[in-house]
Amino acid sequence: MQKVDFEIQLPETEIVRNLPIQEEFFWLSQNGNEGKLRLHDYAQIYRIPHLYEYLMEKLQAKSHMILSSLLIDKVTQAGGDVKDLVVLEIGAGSGMVGKALADLGVKSITGIDILPEAARAAKRECPGVYENYYVEDLTNLSSAARNALSSRGFNCMVCASALTSNHIPPLALATAFNLIAPNGSIAFNVQKEGWEEKGEASFVARNPWVAETDIFEIAQKHDYQHRFHMDGRPLYYKATIGTKRANIHQS
């Protein structure tokens, strides 16, 4: 764990019992100041060096390693070379997934996130990992970013822990998906109950292309413990690895 200039205190179990993930919080002490932050207050968290990684380590987060490993296994088992991957990582945050991919041999990774604090954190904490890192809204890309991304020749998209709670909405996900070449690799994860629930709020209902094999062919679905909730309950996610076959039709 990196040397840090802050202290965090996790709340007592009874205070946070059964809180939804978007309401989970902790207390932060730094330079004589104390405050309460939600775990999803990303902009504030990314401003503080190593705070996000510190929190994820405390909560035993595993998605950055598991999703990266599943993707690399899929590529190599199909006879591909990891060094040939040209990866677009959306919701790239402070770079934990990008670093995991780079450690597994990926040479070309482009990140994109809507928060400028995320881009600064990734540059600070993971120097050299990203070939480029765009601060953009995927639902409203600037013409310069759209042209650059469209011409890069991406053959892989990764999205880790950014689809639950609608951090990245369906339109943004579809826009990124359509930037990937046909037969490219796709890897993402969502909260397990969000995938399995019924009705219009489910991930599959909001993103019906995941069940359309002429657009996306699933190679593997893997259930695992993403991290612990603040109250000690395990938080389960579903990783999905597959191959893009065609673009998603957008109205």
Q: Using CA atoms, how far apart are residues 236 and 54, in angstroms rounded to an integer?
A: 20
What pLDDT is attached to residue 246? 98
What pLDDT is attached to residue 3? 85
Mapping DSSP to helix (H, G, I), strand (E, B) and coil, where does residue 25 land?
strand
pLDDT per position as a tens digit, 131-185: 999 999 999 999 999 999 999 999 999 999 999 877 899 999 999 999 999 999 9
- Phi/psi region, residue 153 (left: phi>0; alpha: psi -120 to 50; beta: rest), is left
What are residue 118's phi and psi, to 5 degrees? -65, -45
Q: Assess whether pLDDT exceeds 70 at residue 123.
A: yes
Q: Mean of the per-residue pLDDT values for the chain?
A: 96
pTM: 0.96
How many residues are recorded in the chain?
A: 251
Higher local confidence (pLDDT), 198 or 23: 23
